[in-house]
């Protein structure tokens, strides 16, 4: 099992180029990993086209949730599963503000980018007080670097509702929790892509997409690094 460890982070903070973040092999490419570790990452290979929920049957196109209650967004690109080394990598980026971990996530996202990127990237906004506590908005950080990588502008929304932790909430509870949380000002471009680090149930994208569509967008997609597996969402 691949691991992103604190030791790996220490090595990267020393600025050692050419080492794989997962196995320390010295022949890693500029992206930060070796080809063997890249192939062994928990890729979300078979997933719902709409919300990227991992599927169990190859013939499925959409998950049961999206068939029963389609979300406000059209498609989700979340190339990895929130497991193993990716869980550790996201945690180090999100809660320890590791720029090396963040850069690896950006490179992984760029390596499996959406087929249709739209007109602009929209990072999921964070309530101001929470952003001050954490020190940064991880979705904003990712979006800025992804925008540079794909040559797309950023647009912005605001979170006006202090949201309690959603870790213990199910899909319906998360949707209720997010009612009235986001505000989007001004006219939106025709096709907007929301940026986040991890998609858990799709409730955040659903709520934010509703506001974007209300302001004139015709299509909203979601692009994240990883998707929480079915049994954890």
- The structure's pTM equals 0.88
Residue 34 shares a structural domain with residue 53: no
Residue 36 shares a structural domain with residue 122: no
Query: How many domains in the chain?
Result: 2
- pLDDT higher at 196 or 6: 196
**Would you say the C-alpha torsion 230, 194, 137, 226 has a positive or negative sign?**
positive
The percent of the chain in helix, strand and coil, each rounded to the nearest 5, is 35, 15, 50
CB 214 within 8 A of CB 192: no
Instruction: Please determine, for residue 211, whether its predicted confidence score (pLDDT) is greater than 70.
Output: yes
Instruction: Please determine, for residue 11, whether its predicted confidence score (pLDDT) is greater than 90.
Output: no
Q: Domain containing 21: what range?
A: 1-40
Mean pLDDT of all residues in 109-125: 95
Residue 3 shares a structural domain with residue 75: no
Residue 154 shares a structural domain with residue 175: yes
* Average pLDDT value for the chain: 86
Residue 24 shares a structural domain with residue 130: no
* pLDDT tens by residue, 20-45: 888 877 666 777 888 899 999 999 99
CATH number, domain of 109, equals 3.40.50
Instruction: Please determine, for residue 210, whether its predicted confidence score (pLDDT) is greater than 90.
Output: yes
């Amino acid at each position: 099992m691949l691991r992103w460890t604190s030791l790996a982070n220490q090595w990267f903070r020393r600025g050692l180029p050419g080492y794989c973040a997962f196995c320390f092999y010295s022949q890693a490419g500029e992206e930060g990993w070796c080809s063997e570790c890249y192939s062994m990452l928990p890729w979300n290979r078979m997933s719902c086209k709409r919300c990227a929920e991992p599927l169990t049957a190859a013939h499925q196109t959409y998950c049961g949730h999206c068939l029963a209650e389609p979300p406000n967004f059209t498609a989700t690109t979340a190339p990895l599963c929130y497991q193993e080394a990716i869980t550790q990598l996201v945690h180090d980026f999100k809660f320890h503000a590791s720029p090396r971990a963040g850069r690896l996530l950006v490179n992984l996202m760029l390596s499996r980018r959406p087929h249709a990127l739209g007109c602009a990237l929209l990072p999921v906004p964070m309530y101001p007080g929470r952003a001050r506590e954490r020190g940064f908005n991880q979705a904003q950080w990712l979006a800025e670097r992804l925008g540079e990588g794909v040559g797309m502008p950023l647009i912005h929304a605001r979170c006006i509702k202090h949201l309690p932790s959603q870790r213990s909430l199910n899909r319906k509870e998360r949707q209720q929790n997010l009612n009235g949380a986001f505000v989007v000002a001004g006219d939106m471009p025709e096709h907007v892509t929301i940026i986040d680090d991890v998609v858990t149930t799709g409730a955040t994208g659903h709520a934010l997409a509703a506001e974007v569509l209300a302001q004139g967008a015709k299509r909203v997609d979601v692009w994240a690094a990883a998707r929480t597996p079915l049994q954890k969402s």
